[in-house]
Amino acid sequence: MDKIVVKGGCKLSGEVNISSAKNSVLPIIAASILCGDKCCIRNAPMLEDVIVICNVLKSLNADVTINKEDSSIIIDTSKVITGEPNSDLVGKMRASFLIMGPMISRFGKFRISLPGGCNIGTRPIDLHLKGFKALGAKISVSQGHVEASTSKLVGNKIYLDFPSVGATENIMMAAVLAEGDTTIENAAAEPEIEDLASFLNSMGAMIKGAGTDTIKITGVKKLDGVSHTPIYDRIEAGTFMIAAAVTKSKIKINGILEEHMKPVIAKLTECGVSMEIQGKSIVVDGDRELKPVDIKTMPYPGFPTDMQAQMMALLCTVRGTSLITETIFENRFMHASELKRMGANIKIDGRSAVIEGVERLSGAEVKATDLRAGAALILAAMAAEGSTTICDIYHIDRGYVEIENKFRRLGVEINRISE
């Protein structure tokens, strides 16, 4: 199993280019099922999760060509058949469940194994299923599978008990070819949902309000294949912003949309980090005395849960007492015990973590417990004294393109070792 070794006490300098958003590309690849035509995704992030969802579509007879040279993915879903996707692949990544809406919409029936939870939480799908039922699908759950069938989908008004990102995306994709109008209220407003809606609208869908808490969809008869370049990955950008802060360095990050970075910029500003937006880039200068802050993760435009672990790594090195409250997932503090192995002072009480900043973290053997926790450990390792070895880095490869090469080009002594 590969490991990443990081030599601590480094300073970063130079520039880094941010990749396209994993959490945009995954639903967009699922949405390509709806048109039964050829779609091209340009500047796609060559990530494990992206390859998994492409293989899920291949298991349903889609033609998928991934070109690593020009970072494009061409997907031809004209020959996709209904049936059950490869359950091993579906089990590898819960985002595979995002094909359910498109498959019900196109074929009127579909069966898929229930997506696994993961270590950050049980990750239920009740809101997805509630939406499909509201659109007229008959849903049954048995023996670890969920089955849907309908003669046709009919638009309806759906209120989400929680602004779930995946449920909003799945219901939107199920509604675009339904008969009549659908309104999703209390919808998630994440930028990746807006990106999915712009992809669907370019295919011929009629979606208004994506990126707000009320999305209106007017069903259309047909969608056509298109090309699309996804938005930048705001979580990868935020991760590099915190890398500058935790190493007291100044770097330039290329590939950001200021609007999407607001919650992270606001919190890092409160912490004392200096940032300057330059068009689609941001210059981050962390070389100053930082202040402890309190964070509460919330649905967008609140502070993103996907940035919580990275912020915890930073606050472990900031003198004073900080408080993090994780409101989105019930078990997303596993990185705390790994940070404590590096000398961090963190007390967990349910969904709250109290962090007392320490003078210096120390290198240690640690393990990535989920995608963002792994990234947080790399950040902590850069600031620590001595060398840190991070194992289970397959978590990190799911969501960060060539993370060690990007950090090495910024001056970090970081290497991947295969054992």
For residues 42 and 123, which CB has a smaller minimum distance to ligand EPZ in the complex? 123
Check: CB of residue 121 under 8 Å from CB of residue 332. Answer: yes
CA angle 312-318-321, nearest 5°?
80
Q: Is 118 a catalytic residue?
A: yes
Check: CB of residue 128 under 8 Å from CB of residue 170. Answer: yes
The residue sitting closest to ligand EPZ, measured at its beta carbon, is 166
For residues 118 and 358, which CB has a smaller minimum distance to ligand EPZ in the complex? 118
CA distances, 240 to each of 54, 318, 376 (Å): 27, 17, 10
The distance of closest approach from Cβ of residue 255 to ligand EPZ in the complex, given in angstroms and rounded to an integer, is 17
Q: Which amino acid does the sequence have at 117?
A: G
The distance of closest approach from Cβ of residue 85 to ligand EPZ in the complex, given in angstroms and rounded to an integer, is 16
- Tokens 């130079």 correspond to 14
The distance of closest approach from Cβ of residue 26 to ligand EPZ in the complex, given in angstroms and rounded to an integer, is 5
The distance of closest approach from Cβ of residue 371 to ligand EPZ in the complex, given in angstroms and rounded to an integer, is 5
CB-facing half-sphere around the CA of 83: CA atoms within 13 A:
12
Check: CB of residue 140 under 8 Å from CB of residue 109. Answer: no
Containing 250, the helix (H) or strand (E) segment is strand 250-254
Closest CA to 222 of 236, 206, 238: 206
The distance of closest approach from Cβ of residue 188 to ligand EPZ in the complex, given in angstroms and rounded to an integer, is 6
DSSP reduced 3-state for 146: strand
For residues 170 and 322, which CB has a smaller minimum distance to ligand EPZ in the complex? 170
Residue from 39, 40, 118, 271 carrying the catalytic annotation: 118
The distance of closest approach from Cβ of residue 380 to ligand EPZ in the complex, given in angstroms and rounded to an integer, is 18
Q: What is the DSSP string of 38-71?
A: EEEETT----HHHHHHHHHHHTTT-EEEEETTTT
DSSP code at position 95: G
For residues 127 and 368, which CB has a smaller minimum distance to ligand EPZ in the complex? 127
For residues 45 and 219, which CB has a smaller minimum distance to ligand EPZ in the complex? 45
Q: Are strands 181-185 and 157-159 parallel, antiparallel or unpaired?
A: parallel
For residues 234 and 252, which CB has a smaller minimum distance to ligand EPZ in the complex? 234
Q: Which residues form the interface with ligand EPZ (CB under 6 A)?
A: 23, 26, 95, 121, 123-128, 162, 164-167, 188, 305-306, 328-329, 371-372, 399
Q: What is the DSSP string of 247-287?
A: TT-EEEEES--HHHHHHHHHHHHHHT-EEEEETTEEEEE--
Name the residues annotated as catalytic.
Answer: 118
